[in-house]
Structure 1
């Protein structure tokens, strides 16, 4: 094993992994031999670690200048990458830049000095135009989910970013689809390719179909979901209006769930993803915004309430389950005025649902909101300390803790959540009085 891999192995204990996967090892081995690399690999295959560790390894001692730039298509992906970066516990500072975030907060963070900047194309281009982001010292540029950035039309913004980069940095690109046309605004020829899109990573995905009348389609979806108990499920729709309609139906039948689509405020999107990640709700109803690039835990069931028009979208949705040799089931809910698209050639098992159903029992966890976050220098240790010392919880009663700029969310034992909230009324964190309540 090379010295390069041994260096990367120093991060395994921090990550809680036994070893890196083959995709990551292949990327590590190629980094020193090529100036520009593109990694083609399915959703959920570990691309983030594959490019983050070589990026970190390239950083020099000058922490006041931007040395690593990660360009992503969505704010959710930016937040996910920052979480992975922070889990590595380096002594380098990162700054997030994305639309919907405070411009002043980002400018202040950049002015203080950041070694790695993670951001969306539009916001990064805005900072460059304002003079708050300077890229003369960049050593590595990452274009993560590059195909998605092109699909969303960020050509002009990415081109302006590259025009501002001085020197000859390394370029890492990742994509979940093979690029048919190479954009001419990139300052390099087609990079060395590492391709894992050819079923090298075997998926154990099972397909099932539920045929239904159009009138009963929504209720039959609930009948299907009611049998999954506490197993996590994503229901995909093509349009945000369908997501909202299903959400109303689920509320009528007391199905606890979260929703995600591009028409929501950023804070609501983050909060709903936090609830789903932490297991405080086990059903997520979403558009294709949730099909790729999001740090969502292993999903047992993917339900296509509305089938996408293109096979590519179908593949990305299914990528949320049966990831990296795990098993999963994908369901098609087909009404009498719909059909199974031609791009699905795999054998599909037809299923039925029972007439009588009831909402699954709520999760064992509830989500608690704290009105303090990163700006108040709050850490996960501070939250755990407050919940155990003042709230009377044991460690086993505390689940995922997520800290945002001005708020924090913690999953706690549902049976004790109301008592904990009462106990923490008017308590302080870092000498700041915080509001504590169940997340709405």
Structure 2
């Protein structure tokens, strides 16, 4: 114990001294505030010095780390980027990643972003919007002195994204760019005033982290406790952490950069209520609020200092807003029947409904009085490298047409459905048909969602069955086809779905599967983007192949329905028993006896069902093993038949799943609406042939 009897682990507190007094109970330690306690003004001045040092990336006690930046000849190696004054390390990384020239949105936005202007950018999907706002942030941070290990990083940039996958993707892209930068292998010696220290390993110049739901919140809090420069987050998880972390709240309040990616989705009515709370933290305080919050510590300062402080408060925030669509008209739900009433006053004033951009200007506190608005969205919402087609069929036949398309045009296909139930119904069906398919929807665990995305990326001929959580922002390399198995409800969702293919000037194909009751919705979707239904051509279908595939699909449905009934019965019974055990309730004797009787009787039935199921699976396996041969192809001799396939076999241009059909891109079989109108009905063609034949006979 030493001299301080009964006291363990005293902590020295500045301005507080320990005083011992003798009492009847013995010597007692009491604490007294010293008269030499620093004034509130001195404390504030120390805080200001620390805050300034924090902004500069160093502390008053930390040594200044001087890092030698190697020269980079951007004028010769990257002439297209040379006019944009980016940090040399960024230029090196762009050259290493083979980004030889900026995309249109990057070329248009970077000159404004690098001179501290607020930017609102609208550009097609896959146009490089991530680097359009990411490069200015990295340029600013790399231009600051190198941070040290002893000082916690302060949050400088916040990037908000609507989905977990998009947030993780943005974080991954920025980190890939940082790791590509050529850091010096030998750490430079640190220099201090009056002393020199040996070379030490440098920490990363810029730290980027992602905070999303569905993953361990404790791990994410530990990452934040270590300190990050750039935080990519979804609003829900970020607000959950902010509520318990005052330091993070202060970091958001003093941001240098604020980014809203896919902004139109973020501000939809009823979505992301947490976003409103986060945006309030970034808003400027009024002069009255600033004075009321800070007047106690600055009571002795004169008016000039007060005005100077007001001018500096939070004026450095730079805001970037990017999306592929910023129009309220595109967000209208066309599947709901709406009646629009237009008043005479509204008609006379010719008032237009508020746009998404107007909402942004109201909700975001832009420091720039006139944010630079850059709109490079393509006409009709379709990029030039995207081909579109459609298949008109009954709702019950969509499974067969989808199966036909996947066999006829192999590759990476992203199939969009509007509901999770649709994915759960379709998933076992395509698995029974030996198709590599992976689900992606909101009810999967985050780990499983990422795993399925990774599998889809790395499997050449595969299918991703997804809801609209995969429609925005995801950059999946080389997606060949986007299939709208169920028609989207809004036009902006349709545009974003199509944006998963034909990215970065690559070719892509989008196909609509339209049932008779969906034609009205398709017509409304296209008209909202200024297009006509006739602009989308129909796909040519080999009907002989389709008939053969129907038998397979119908058999797979029987197997899936039988399996589903067994699973549902077992699930309901097990759920009843587990619930009764949890509640401590005894099940009714009738239920128990019925289940016991059923278990006795069902043993024989189960065996009979298993035999039937095995027979169905064997039949389906036999069908799948049979080759699909097109009409006119000889099954015995490749040189005979009305459609010889020798040349295709030799050249390798044959479809492996459908013998007799050539390898063709999906867009090469489109039948335009004009040709379809000119084509004569089958009955009239047969009639003309019969008349010609009869004329020849009589002649």
Query: What TM-score bracket applies, with the shorter chain setting the length?
Result: 0.7 to 0.9
What are the Cα deviations for residues 203-236 of structure 1, in whole angstroms up to 9, with x where unaligned? 222222223333332122111111122x111111
The CA deviation at 1:310 is 2.1
Report if aligned partners of 2:435, 2:462 keep a CA contact under 8 Å in 1.
Answer: no
State the alpha-carbon separation in 1 of the partners of residues 273 and 486 from structure 2. Answer: 32
Report if aligned partners of 1:211, 1:334 keep a CA contact under 8 Å in 2.
Answer: yes
In the other structure, the counterpart of 1:79 is 168
| Selected match of 2:400 from 193, 202, 219 | 219
In the other structure, the counterpart of 1:35 is 117
Report if aligned partners of 2:487, 2:518 keep a CA contact under 8 Å in 1.
Answer: no
Relative distance call for 1:267 and 1:175 in structure 2 (3 A) is same
The CA deviation at 1:69 is 0.9
In the other structure, the counterpart of 1:172 is 320
State the alpha-carbon separation in 2 of the partners of residues 31 and 256 from structure 1. Answer: 44
Aligned pairs (5 A) from 1:130-149: 130-131=244-245, 133=248, 134-135=250-251, 136-149=253-266
Asked if 1:120 corresponds to 2:120, the answer is no
State the alpha-carbon separation in 2 of the partners of residues 152 and 241 from structure 1. Answer: 25
Aligned pairs (5 A) from 1:41-440: 41-59=123-141, 60-61=144-145, 62=147, 64-89=153-178, 91=204, 92-131=206-245, 133=248, 134-135=250-251, 136-151=253-268, 153-154=270-271, 156-165=273-282, 167-168=314-315, 169-179=317-327, 180-181=355-356, 182-183=358-359, 184-188=362-366, 191-199=371-379, 202-229=383-410, 231-279=411-459, 282-339=462-519, 341-342=522-523, 343-344=525-526, 345=532, 346-353=535-542, 354-355=545-546, 356=548
In the other structure, the counterpart of 1:368 is none
- What secondary structure sits across from 1:12 in the alignment? helix
State the alpha-carbon separation in 1 of the partners of residues 404 and 84 from structure 2. Answer: 55
The CA deviation at 1:86 is 1.1
State the alpha-carbon separation in 1 of the partners of residues 235 and 452 from structure 2. Answer: 24
The CA deviation at 1:311 is 1.9
The CA deviation at 1:336 is 4.5
TM-score, normalised to structure 2's length?
0.48
Relative distance call for 1:295 and 1:326 in structure 2 (3 A) is closer
Unaligned runs of 5+ in 1: 360-440
Unaligned runs of 5+ in 2: 1-81, 180-203, 283-312, 328-354, 527-531, 554-699
Aligned length: 358
Relative distance call for 1:155 and 1:332 in structure 2 (3 A) is closer
Larger Rg: 2
Report if aligned partners of 1:177, 1:197 keep a CA contact under 8 Å in 2.
Answer: yes
The CA deviation at 1:158 is 2.3
Relative distance call for 1:127 and 1:338 in structure 2 (3 A) is closer
Relative distance call for 1:224 and 1:3 in structure 2 (3 A) is closer
State the alpha-carbon separation in 1 of the partners of residues 223 and 393 from structure 2. Answer: 53
- What secondary structure sits across from 1:333 in the alignment? strand
- What secondary structure sits across from 2:404 in the alignment? helix
State the alpha-carbon separation in 1 of the partners of residues 178 and 488 from structure 2. Answer: 40
State the alpha-carbon separation in 2 of the partners of residues 259 and 202 from structure 1. Answer: 27
The CA deviation at 1:54 is 0.6
The CA deviation at 1:82 is 1.0
Structure 1 stretch displaced more, 190-199 or 5-14:
5-14
State the alpha-carbon separation in 2 of the partners of residues 336 and 325 from structure 1. Answer: 34
Relative distance call for 1:6 and 1:203 in structure 2 (3 A) is farther
The CA deviation at 1:264 is 1.5
State the alpha-carbon separation in 1 of the partners of residues 441 and 393 from structure 2. Answer: 25
Relative distance call for 1:324 and 1:89 in structure 2 (3 A) is closer
Larger relative contact order, structure 1 or 2 (CA cutoff 8 Å, min sep 6): 1
Between structures 1 and 2, the one with greater helix share: 2
State the alpha-carbon separation in 2 of the partners of residues 190 and 350 from structure 1. Answer: 47
In the other structure, the counterpart of 1:417 is none
Relative distance call for 1:190 and 1:121 in structure 2 (3 A) is farther
